[in-house]
Amino acid sequence: MILDNLRTAGVQNTFKKERLRFDSLQAYAGQWIHGEGTYTESDGTTKRAAVCIGPEHGTVGPQLIKEAAKEAVQGVGFDLLIVCGFAFDPHVAEEAKRYGKLTVLPTRTNPDLTMGDLLKKTGSGNLFMVFGEPDAEIAHQKDGRIVVQLRGLDIFDPTTGEIRSSDTDDIACWFLDTDYNGESFFVRHAYFTGADQPYDKLKRALRAEIDEAAWSTLYTTTSRPFHRPQTGKLAVKVINHYGDEVLKVLNV
């Protein structure tokens, strides 16, 4: 069912014109790879893609990425590994960078697919989304406190295979865990961004007046100062306008 929908819908990022469309896609009798297909990049180059389908109930972790990548580089090898999952471990992004010429693409599967036959058959839905990694920078102040600045996202273009920087217009909100323990993410700071300032929409949704001065401290890409984390790690979680989220862990 996942392969049938993937064949029809393809893989896209937050830009409508940037969608990876398969020329062919069929089942693959592998241990960790469940599908193989071909696609054509915008320059006319034909590439081979492997598809790994993560658990229906559970999280895709670094070990699954590792095993699927090892299988994908054997023999003739694939150019692209698409790992489909409903949820991803925070450390998947780091694991996905370790395989040289093989591009590993963690792809979020729309939870609507769990509806099975109740899902309307359509190729226009956002069923398989690639969401970029947060581009965040740590700055140290003179008093020893830390400030995080969110610059945007590093987005993969499925049509060209390139990774490019995107600004914060595609980000709806972002959260900080200023003392990340490597297991649970606690929202200690919350901020909002986006091209259209959502102040009026929020005011209508809450049906209440909002202190504009207080709101201005939340509508920002630069965090409030905070003390160095005792764990030596902080985590940045970013959510786009489609509701997709991605987490990046930074060492301090």
**Contact yes or no for 193/167 (Cβ under 8 A):** no
CA 107 – CA 223 distance, rounded (Å): 28
Does position 169 have pLDDT exceeding 80, yes or no?
A: no
Average pLDDT, the chain: 83
Q: Which of 43, 51, 1 is nearest to 22 (CA)?
A: 51
Per-residue pLDDT tens over the stretch 97-132: 777 788 888 888 888 777 665 555 544 457 787 777
Per-residue pLDDT tens over the stretch 193-241: 876 666 666 666 767 777 777 777 788 889 999 999 999 999 999 887 7
Q: Which fold has domain 2-129?
A: 3.40.1340
Per-residue pLDDT tens over the stretch 49-89: 999 999 988 888 889 999 999 999 887 789 999 999 988 87
Same fold flag, 2-129 and 133-251:
no
- What's the pLDDT score for residue 123? 47
In this predicted model, which residue has the larger pLDDT, 30 or 94?
A: 30
**Contact yes or no for 137/149 (Cβ under 8 A):** yes
Q: Where are the domains of the chain?
A: 2-129, 133-251
Helix (H) / strand (E) containing 203: helix 199-206
CATH architecture of 133-251: Sandwich (2.60)
Q: For 209, which DSSP code?
A: -
**Contact yes or no for 49/82 (Cβ under 8 A):** yes
- Its sign, for the CA torsion 121, 124, 125, 128, is positive
